[in-house]
Structure formats: C-alpha cells, structure tokens
C-alpha cells in the first residue's frame, strides 16, 4: 500500500505577507480526497485562520514541516527573508523567477520542482487556477478605497443646503482585472470615471461598468494573442504620454494598473505632468512592484509632490488577507486536484496547463522565462 501524499502549508516568512496558501475549507476537501495535510504552526493566523480551525478538519500542526512532505504550498515560497525547504518536494507558489536567479540555486540545492502560479496559461480550462486574476481583483478594489480615503473631497455628487458638490473625476489606466475592479469600485462610490487602455477590446468592458473609455487612435490595436497589452515603440510611448497628459491633469485621482508580462511596467505619468495636476490630487500606482507607471513612485511608500499624494503599494492583497487567502486557496486546490490521478501525483506534461506552469523540474529550469 502506497503512502498518502502529504501537503505542507508553509508559514510565510515575509513580514509584510498576511495571506495563507490553503484555508481550512479546502484542506478539508483535500483530506477527503485521501491526502494528508500538515500546517506550519501559525501559518494562517494573520489571515484569520487559527491552528484549531485546521486541526478541526484533520490537519497536523507542526513547528516545522516534516521531511515527509510531497507538496509545499505557499504564497511566496522564495521571499527575500528566506524559507526552509523539504528536499525533493514540489513547491506550488507564486515566484519572481523572471527577476531572481537565486531561486534556481535554491531549487538545485534542494532538488525542488516548482509550479509557478503566475504562469497559468490563458485558456478557458485554466481560469479556475488563475491566481494572478483572483489577487488582482482585490488589488483593484483596495486601490479604489485608497482613493476614497485620501482625496480631499467627496467621491459622489453631493447636493446640500449649501450647494451642489460635483463628483470626483477618477482616471484608471489599464483595464485588466485590477483596472476593471478599480473602475467598478470608484463607480459604485459615485465617481465620474474614465478608463484608458491601449487594447481597443477593453473599451467594451470599461463602458459596461458605466465609465467613459478613451484611447489613442495612433496606437491602433495593441493586443497580443493572449489578450495582454503589447510593449510599445519609443515613438508610440511618447505619443501615449502626450495623449494621457490632458486627462491626468484634469483628474482628481489616477489609479494606474498598466503592465506588460515579463517586462517593467510602462511609464505613463511623467513628473512634469504631476506638477500640473490639481493640489490635493491622488495617484495610486498599483504597478509599483513592477517598476511603476509613474516616474515618481516609490515602492511601499507614499510620497508628496506639490501637494499631490503618490502611493506605491507593494502588496495590496495582503491588506485584505482573509478573502485574498480564500480565493488563492481555491486556485491551489484546483491545481492539486488537476495533478492527482487515482490519489497519485501525476506530472502529466502532455497537459498544457502543467506543461506551462512547471517552471523547474528536479532543480532544473525547464522553460524560458
């Protein structure tokens, strides 16, 4: 009789990370499927899930994950603070493989295989695994709340005995998952919202949320086969900056979410444009971890230039860890379910999802990133 597959839930070492990779509800489902689950002590506490919540569904709580672990789950198993690793195991986590060569060294040393949650392919069957989208939705929502809390004026139209106060004008740059959720959030709060994206197909989604859509016709349609934005030429980048300038100056708040897979975030807001914005305006640059869309963004900080507040949040989903963990956990559970065949872990590389996400196999990088 073969031993049960054991899943280990890693406690995040990054002090700013409050999420947990698997929540008790999904652990319960894994155990019912015939797996064993081990929790590193306190791994879920910051997200609102206590050790006893896991124990109640049959989880073993350990001070340190045992060497019997087959699968390690994590939000970021390769954080700068460092983690301990179970040799010969499969790590399921988001990674920074494109920018951190040390990950390869760690995997070689410990003979690790890695499934990277940011490499989910853009196909219908993989949507239930899409951790980037599940977390980006929270990012957009939180960005909208930062605007509401930081502006020096009301968001909605207010009719008072002293007169009528006009709604805030909010500009959202980029209409991916985060951008669309930001639009939806500030629109629900009553803002006058404008959305921008270089992908013409995004216009319909922006309008469906009740916002105005603007686009630079010079750029034409700039969309890849995977529905992502294309990187622009220097000429087009300059045209884009000039086009956006007048809209940024008129805005009370700008939420910038634009990104290009595998590349630094495009610069859309110049310092000279910020200097022309209205005093009291707010910029929330959620692309800060990728270098930022704004020239003045500082990761993890709020800077003030000419009374303009510029936020560079480093990890907004971690600021709403309960729900962020629930949706991330479901992504992880769905992946583990895909890997299991007759209660055995099957690394089927003929499956295009597994083939795309298995970035390291037994310590060796297997795909170009």
Average pLDDT, the chain: 92
Between 184 and 349, whose confidence is greater?
184
Structural Rg of the chain based on CA atoms? 22
323-335 per-position pLDDT tens digit: 999 999 999 999 9
How far, rounded to the nearest angstrom, does the alpha carbon of residue 309 sit from its chain's CA centroid? Answer: 23
User: Mean pLDDT, to the nearest integer, of 9-37?
Assistant: 96
Catalytic residue ranges: 122, 127, 130, 133, 228
CA atoms of 252 and 154, how far apart (whole Å): 10
Looking at residue 252, what DSSP letter applies? S
Residues 252 and 142 grouped into a single domain: yes
pLDDT score, position 229: 55
Q: How many domains does the chain have?
A: 2
Q: How many CB atoms lie within 10 A of CB 340?
A: 16
CATH number of 345's domain: 3.40.50.720
Would you call 311 exposed, middle or buried from its count of C-beta atoms within 10 A (0-12, 13-18, 19+)?
buried
pLDDT value at position 344? 82
Residue-number span of the structural domain to which 115 is assigned:
6-119+321-365
Q: What is the pLDDT of residue 345?
A: 84
Q: What per-residue confidence (pLDDT) applies to 263?
A: 84
N-to-C CA span, the chain: 39
Q: Please check whether residues 141 and 210 belong to one and the same domain.
A: yes
User: 257 phi and psi, to 5 degrees?
Assistant: -130, 10
The phi and psi torsions of 20 (rounded to 5 degrees) equal -130, 150
Residue 98 belongs to a domain? yes
Could you tell me the pTM of the whole model?
Answer: 0.91
Q: Report the candidate in 150, 247, 140, 154 with the shortest Cα–Cα distance to residue 183.
A: 140
Q: What is the mean pLDDT of residues 216-226?
A: 58
Please indicate, yes or no, whether residues 97 and 197 belong to a single structural domain of this protein. Answer: no
The answer on 49 and 103 residing in a single domain is: yes
Do 295 and 170 belong together in one domain?
Answer: yes
> For residues 73 and 50, what is the distance between their CA atoms, to the nearest angstrom?
17
For residues 194 and 181, give the distance between their C-alpha atoms in angstroms, rounded to a whole number: 13
In a shared domain, residues 356 and 234: no
126 domain residue, yes or no: no
Q: What is the pLDDT of residue 90?
A: 96
Q: Kindly state whether residues 113 and 165 are assigned to the same domain.
A: no
Report pLDDT digits (tens) over 300-319.
Answer: 999 999 999 999 999 999 99
334 and 286 in a common domain: no
Question: Same domain, yes or no, for 170 and 99?
Answer: no
Kindly state whether residues 214 and 179 are assigned to the same domain. Answer: yes
Q: Do 174 and 50 reside in the same domain of the chain? A: no
Averaged pLDDT for residues 159-188: 97
As a whole number of angstroms, the distance between CA 300 and CA 291 comes to 11
Q: Is the pLDDT of residue 1 over 50?
A: no
Q: What is the pLDDT of residues 90-125, one digit of tens each?
A: 999 999 887 777 888 899 999 999 999 999 999 999
Tokens for 71, please give them. 């699968």
| Per-residue confidence (pLDDT) for residue 223, from 0 to 100 | 55
| Percentage of the residues of the chain whose pLDDT score is greater than 70 | 93
């Amino acid at each position: 009789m073969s031993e049960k597959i054991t899943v280990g839930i890693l406690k995040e070492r990054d002090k700013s990370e409050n999420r947990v990779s698997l929540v008790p509800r999904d652990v319960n489902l894994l155990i019912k499927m015939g797996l064993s689950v081990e929790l590193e002590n306190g791994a879920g506490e910051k997200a609102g899930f206590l050790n006893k919540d896991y124990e109640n569904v049959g989880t073993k709580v350990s001070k340190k994950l045992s060497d019997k672990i087959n699968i390690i789950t994590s939000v970021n198993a390769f954080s700068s603070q460092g983690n301990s690793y179970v040799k010969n195991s499969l790590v399921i986590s988001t990674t920074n493989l494109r920018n951190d060569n040390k990950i390869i060294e760690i995997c070689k040393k410990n003979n690790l295989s890695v499934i990277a949650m940011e490499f989910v392919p853009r196909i219908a069957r993989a949507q239930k695994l899409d951790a980037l989208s599940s977390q980006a939705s929270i990012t957009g929502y939180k960005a909208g709340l930062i605007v509401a809390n930081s502006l020096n004026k009301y968001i909605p139209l207010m009719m008072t005995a002293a007169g009528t106060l006009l709604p805030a004008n909010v500009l959202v740059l980029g209409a991916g998952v985060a951008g669309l959720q930001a639009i939806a959030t500030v629109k629900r709060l009553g803002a006058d919202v404008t959305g921008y994206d270089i992908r013409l197909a995004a216009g319909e989604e922006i309008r469906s949320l009740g916002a105005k859509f603007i686009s630079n016709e010079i750029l034409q349609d700039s969309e890849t086969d995977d529905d992502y934005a294309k990187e622009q030429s220097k000429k087009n980048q300059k045209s884009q900056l000039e086009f956006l300038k007048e809209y940024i100056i008129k805005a009370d708040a700008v939420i910038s979410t634009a990104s290009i897979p595998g590349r630094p975030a495009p610069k859309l807001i110049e310092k000279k444009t910020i200097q022309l914005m209205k005093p009291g305006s707010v910029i929330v640059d959620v692309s800060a971890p990728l270098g930022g869309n704004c020239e003045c963004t500082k990761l993890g900080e709020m800077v003030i230039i000419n009374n303009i507040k510029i936020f560079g949040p480093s990890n907004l989903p971690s600021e709403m860890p309960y729900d962020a963990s629930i949706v991330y956990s479901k992504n992880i559970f769905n992946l583990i379910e895909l890997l299991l065949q007759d209660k055995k872990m099957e690394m089927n590389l003929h499956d295009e999802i597994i083939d795309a996400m298995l970035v390291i196999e037994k310590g060796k990088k297997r795909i170009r990133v």
